[in-house]
Structure 1
Amino acid sequence: MGFFLETLLGGLMTGMLYALVALGFVLIFKASGVFNFAQGAMVLFAALAMARFAEWLPKWLGFSSPVLANVLAFILAGVVMFAVAWVVERLVLRHLVNQEGATLLMATLGITYLLDGIGQTLFGSDIYKIDVGMPKDPLIAFESTFQGGILINKEDVIAAGIAAVLVIALSLFFQKTGTGRALRAVADDHQAAQSIGIPLNRIWVIVWCVAGVVALVAGMIWGSKLGVQFSLATVALRALPVVILGGLTSVPGAIIGGLIIGVGEKLSEVYIGPLVGGGIEIWFAYVLALGFLLVRPQGLFGEKIIDRV
Structure 2
Amino acid sequence: MDFDYLFFTEVLVGGLLSGVMYSLVAIGFVLIYKTSGVLNFAQGAMLLFSALTFVSLVERGVPFALALAVTFAIMVALGVAIERAVLRPLVNKPPITLFMATLGLSYVIEGAAQLLWGTQVHGLDLGINDVPFDIAGVFISQFDLFAAAVAAGMVALLSVFFRYTRVGLAFRAVADDQFAALAVGLRLPRIWATVWATAGLVALVAGLLWGARLGVQFSLSLVVLKALPVLVLGGFDSILGAIVGGLLIGALEKLAEVYIGDYFGGGIESWFAYVAALAFLLVRPSGLFGQKLVERV
Check 1:206–1:218 CA distance in 2 against 1; reply closer, same or farther (3 A cut): same
User: Does the alignment pair 1:105 with 2:109?
Assistant: no
Structure 1 residue runs of 5 or longer lacking an equivalent are 59-68, 143-148
Q: Select the residue among 7, 18, 21 that pairs with 2:22.
A: 18
Q: CA deviation at 1:31?
A: 1.6
Aligned to 1:137: 131
Of 160, 182, 189 in structure 2, the residue corresponding to residue 201 of structure 1 is 189
Q: Which residue of 2 aligns with 1:308?
A: 296
Counterpart residue number, 1:29: 33
CA distance in 1: counterparts of 2:93 and 2:179, whole angstroms? 10
Q: Structure 1 residues 99 and 188 mapped into 2: Cα distance closer, same or farther (>3 Å)?
A: farther
Q: Secondary structure at the match of 2:205?
A: helix
What's the offset of the Cα at 1:126? 0.6
Shift of 1:30: 1.1
Q: Which of 9, 12, 18 is the aligned partner of 1:8?
A: 12
TM-score, reference length from structure 2: 0.95
2:207 equivalent in structure 1? 219
Q: 1:262 maps to what in 2?
A: 250
Match of 1:291 among 276, 279, 285: 279
Partner of 2:168: 180
**Once superposed, which parts of structure 1, at least 4 consecutive aligned residues long, lie more than 6 Å away?**
none
**Structure 2 unaligned residues grouped into runs of 5+:** none
SS at match of 2:222: helix
TM-score (normalizing by structure 1)? 0.91
2:157 is aligned with 1:169: yes
1:282: Cα distance to partner?
A: 1.4
User: Structure 2 CA distance, aligned partners of 1:299 and 1:244?
Assistant: 6
Q: Could you list the per-position Cα deviations for residues 238-260 of structure 1 after superposition, in whole angstroms to 9, with x for gaps in the alignment?
A: 11100111011110110100000
Q: Structure 2 CA distance, aligned partners of 1:95 and 1:34? A: 13
Query: What one-letter code is carried by the residue in structure 2 that aligns with 1:178?
Result: R
Which residue of structure 1 lines up, in the alignment, with residue 238 of structure 2?
A: 250
Mapped partners of 2:130, 2:122: distance in 1: 17
Deviation at 1:286, TM superposition (A): 0.3
Contact persistence 1:98–1:191 (CA under 8 A) = no
2:56 corresponds in structure 1 to 52
Instruction: Say if 1:98 and 1:190, in contact at 8 Å, map to a contact too.
Output: no
Residue 69 (structure 2) pairs with residue 75 (structure 1): yes
Q: CA deviation at 1:29?
A: 0.5
Aligned-partner SS, 1:127? coil
Give the superposition deviation at 1:99: 2.4
RMSD between aligned residues: 1.4
Secondary structure of the residue aligned to 1:92 is: helix
Q: Residue 125 of structure 1 contacts residue 230 of structure 1 at CA under 8 Å; is this kept in 2?
A: yes
Q: Which residue of 2 aligns with 1:150?
A: 138
- Letter of the aligned partner of 2:82 in structure 1? V
Per-residue CA deviations over 1:205-238 (Å, capped at 9, x if unaligned) read: 1101111111100000011111100000111101
SS of the residue 1:300 aligns to: coil
1:265-291 alpha-carbon deviations (Å, 9 max, x no partner): 010110011122212211111011111
Distance in 1, matches of 2:176 and 2:135, equals 48
1:3 maps to a residue whose letter is F
Residue 20 of structure 1: how far off its partner (Å): 0.6
Q: 1:31 to 1:57 in 2, by over 3 A?
A: farther
* 1:94 pairs with 2:88: yes
Q: CA offset at residue 113 of structure 1?
A: 1.0
| Contact map agreement 1:97 1:190 (CA 8 A) in 2 | no
What displacement does 1:188 show? Answer: 4.1
Inter-partner Cα distance in structure 2 for 1:152 and 1:49: 30
15-24 or 101-110, larger mean C-alpha shift = 101-110
